[in-house]
Chain A
Amino acid sequence: MPIQLAIVSYRYPGTPRPVLVNMDLAIAAGEVVGVAGANESGKSTLCLVASGLAPGVVGGRLEGSVSIDGATTASLKPFELAQRCGILFQNSATQLSGTTRSVWEEIAFGPRNLGLAVGEVVERVEHALASLAIQALAERDPQRLSGGQAQLVALAAVLALRPPYLVLDEPTSQLDPQGTRLVGDALAALAAERGTGILLVEHKTDLLARLAGRVIVLDAGTVALEGAVADVLSDAALHALGVEPPSAVVLQRAVADAGLTLDAGALAAAVGAVGAGADVRVDR
């Protein structure tokens, strides 16, 4: 059973206007659903609602229903939600506990909270470190990391909980291209090998093009565009919704403006595999 949002509207406590309006969304096991949209379009709120933290912990009013693996989020306690759906927030600095003296212990924080056996804690921490290639940070003080490093550590800490679903709010916002590729590889492997369902909020549409099967674009709390990644990310309305198209689409338009044509098959492959260096043939 997927994460399922059925006709969901949500507003924060003390505010009259809903931030999400009549949202329908499903994220199946092993599926990566991309979310794009301008600032204030409701992306982060969608993350909180899909993970069950809103209204459960945040408060506010939810209409419609949100369920994870068949259980409504309202019926689950926060620690139960944490085991079903991991969430990475935009601000990685506050995602870290602030009480540990090494990155290793920081990543172990969640598994330790669950009271797992020591061996399992060790295995999870080592795997999370390895999956993001941050073993070299293991001994470092989490309070003394750069923004990008903290973001990787925060993601590793979420991965160590091994939830079947992940909600990631701009997980690469502070990362350089290499770090972004690393995170992309790790998420692709999670979806393909572990069957993890991922809701991925990203401004980097190249990453969405590479990872997501479906993409939704939000505008003022509603779904403005939804569909297969190649269709949505090449939609002419994308720019007006505050989303920059992926570089392959930009290239295609530039080529077209120059009176040239691109091979359609190669373009489709490129839109679906930007970042992997797909070949695109240009015909004069």
Chain B
Amino acid sequence: MARNRHDGRRGGTDLSGRLVAREATAAARVPEYVTRAPTGLYVGLNPTTKFVIALVEAAFAFLVRGWTGPLLVLAIVLATAVATHVTRRMIPYVLATLPLVVSIMLVNTFFYPGAHDPIGSIGPFTATWTGLVAALQATLRVVAFALSVAVFSLTTATDDLLSDLERRGLGRRGEFVIGAAVRTVPRMIERAGEIVDAQRARGLDTQGGPIRRIRGLLPLTGPMISSALGEVEERTLALEARAFTAPGRRTEIRRLPDTGAQRLLRWGSVLAVAAVVGATIAGVISLP
């Protein structure tokens, strides 16, 4: 039985340089809808590059103190969003931060420890300027982080990221767990809808006010959980029956483009952020 030529390969090496002609011909027979790589400004970057950029942005926003970190990251993220036409689709991500932002604003503005520069009072609670500044900075960090995640996820298909990470050594189990989890969520939502419809057909009232809805939906959690657990057992069997636990690397049928410039960008951005963070912490440079 022919084994994958790349079994002994160390992760991260360049496939195109190693493929023999026969393998290259075979790889060319893999359909385009399987091998297609994303294209376009930023979107066409290797998924790992975009992943590293998102991590670097988050680190910069949180670790560089003052206004510079979050504002710089926000500017970069918004510019990227405009360039990739995902600005509107980022709104849900911003909305998702609202509960956290509200709590940050309230707690910092009214309860900032040691602040004695009052803006005004609401009943027994006094807002302070120091607290408000801290709250705004923290809010900017949270929003910058959320938007960097948004830009990454809106410009990167999960499959692309997993394919690339598997090639870099994530392992088939890691890829499966993440991939299955990501794909299971929409399926679970669909199934919940199906169960709700089925229960409605049997007279269960799942509409009306919030309390009535919750009361109506509670009986659905049992079938949802039991069917999900049953599926896990069946899927485990099916995976075993499909040689999922076979040793060695899986055959690579899809390679997303990567370039020396992108490798430089990844390492360069990580080192640059580490240097700036280190310098600000050490007091070598002072940023507003």
Which A residues lie at the B interface, using CB under 8 A? 48, 51, 53, 57-58, 77-79, 81-83, 86-87, 89, 91, 94-102, 104-105, 108-122, 138-139, 143, 157-158, 161
| Cβ-defined contact, A119 with B240, below 8 A | no
Known contacts A53-B241, A116-B4, A138-B31; A108/B180 CB under 8 A: no
Cβ-defined contact, B236 with A57, below 8 A = yes
Is there an interface contact between A122 and B172, defined as CB atoms closer than 8 Å?
A: no
A102 near B242 (CB under 8 angstroms)? no
Rounded to whole Å, the gap between the CB of A91 and the closest CB of chain B is: 6
Pairwise interchain contact B7-A58, C-beta atoms closer than 8 A: no
Taking CB atoms, residues of chain A closer than 8 Å to B1 are 114, 116
Distance A138 CA – B33 CA, assembled complex (angstroms): 9
Total number of residue pairs linking A and B with CB closer than 8 Å: 142
Is A79 within 8 A of B33, CB to CB? no
Indicate if the CB atoms of B253 and A118 lie closer than 8 Å: yes
Nearest chain A residue, comparing its CB with the CB of B31: A104
Is there a chain A Cβ closer than 8 Å to B266's Cβ? no
Q: Which of A89, A102, A104, A111 contacts B238 (CB 8 A)?
A: A89
List of A residues within 8 angstroms of B245 by Cβ: 77-79
CA distance A94 to B247 in the complex (A): 23
Query: B27 near A118 (CB under 8 angstroms)?
Result: yes
Assess whether B34 is interfacial by the CB under 8 Å rule: yes
Residue B251 at the chain A interface, CB threshold 8 Å: yes
A79 & B244 in contact (Cβ 8 Å cutoff):
yes
Across-interface contacts of B251 in A (CB, < 8 A): 108, 111-112, 114-118, 121
Query: Is the Cβ of A95 less than 8 Å from the Cβ of B240?
Result: no
Contact with A along B15-44 (1 / 0, CB 8 A): 000000011011101110110000000000
Asked whether, in the complex, the Cβ of A157 is within 8 Å of the Cβ of B242, the reply is: yes
**A residues less than 8 Å from B187 (CB atoms):** 98, 143
Contact of A119 among B26, B248, B252 (CB under 8 A): B26
Task: Please name all residues of chain B whose beta carbon is closer than 8 Å to the beta carbon of A110 when the two chains form the complex.
Answer: 242-243
Bound together, the chains give a CA A110 to CA B242 distance in angstroms of: 5
CB nearest to B162 among chain A residues: A99
B residues within 8 A CB of A139?
Answer: 31, 33
By a CB distance below 8 angstroms, the chain A residues around B241 are 51, 53, 78, 81-82, 86-87, 89, 95, 158
List B residues 229-250 near A (Cβ within 8 Å).
Answer: 231, 234-250
| B-to-A contact residues, CB < 8 Å | 1-5, 7, 22-23, 25-27, 29-31, 33-34, 159, 162, 172, 175-176, 179-180, 183-184, 187, 231, 234-253
Residues of B within 8 A of A161 (CB): 242-243
Q: Is the CB of A105 within 8 A of B34?
A: yes
Q: Closest CB of chain A to B66's CB: distance in Å?
A: 43
Interface pair B253/A112, CB less than 8 Å apart: yes
Distance in angstroms from A21 CB to nearest chain B CB is 23
Partner of B183, one of A108, A114, A143: A143
A116/B3 in contact, CB under 8 A: yes
Q: 20 other contacts beyond A82-B240, A99-B183, A122-B29, with CB at 8 A cut-off?
A: A51-B241, A53-B240, A79-B243, A81-B240, A81-B241, A89-B237, A97-B235, A99-B176, A100-B159, A108-B253, A112-B253, A115-B3, A115-B4, A118-B27, A118-B253, A119-B29, A121-B251, A122-B253, A139-B31, A158-B242
Of the residues A77, A97, A104, A117, contact of B4 by C-beta under 8 Å: A117
From A89, A91, A98, A113, contact of B243 by CB (8 A): A113
Question: Please, how many angstroms separate the alpha-carbon atoms of A114 and B183 in the complex?
Answer: 24
How many angstroms from the CA of A51 to the CA of B25 in the assembled complex? Answer: 36
B248 (CB) vs chain A CBs: closest residue: A115
User: Is B237 touching A57 in the complex (CB atoms < 8 A)?
Assistant: yes
B246 contacts A118, CB within 8 Å? no
Alpha-carbon distance between A48 and B237 when the two chains are bound, in angstroms = 9
Smallest CB separation, A198 vs chain B (Å): 15
What 5 pairs across the A-B complex have the smallest Cβ distances? Answer: A119-B26, A99-B179, A79-B246, A94-B234, A115-B4
Q: Judging by beta carbons under 8 Å apart, are B22 and A109 in contact?
A: no
Q: Say yes or no: B250 contacts A94, CB within 8 Å.
A: no
16 sample A-B contacts, Cβ–Cβ < 8 Å, listed by A number: A51-B241, A53-B241, A78-B241, A78-B245, A79-B244, A82-B240, A82-B242, A97-B238, A98-B180, A102-B34, A108-B251, A113-B250, A114-B251, A117-B26, A119-B26, A161-B243
Q: Which of B7, B31, B179, B244 contacts A115 (CB 8 A)?
A: B7
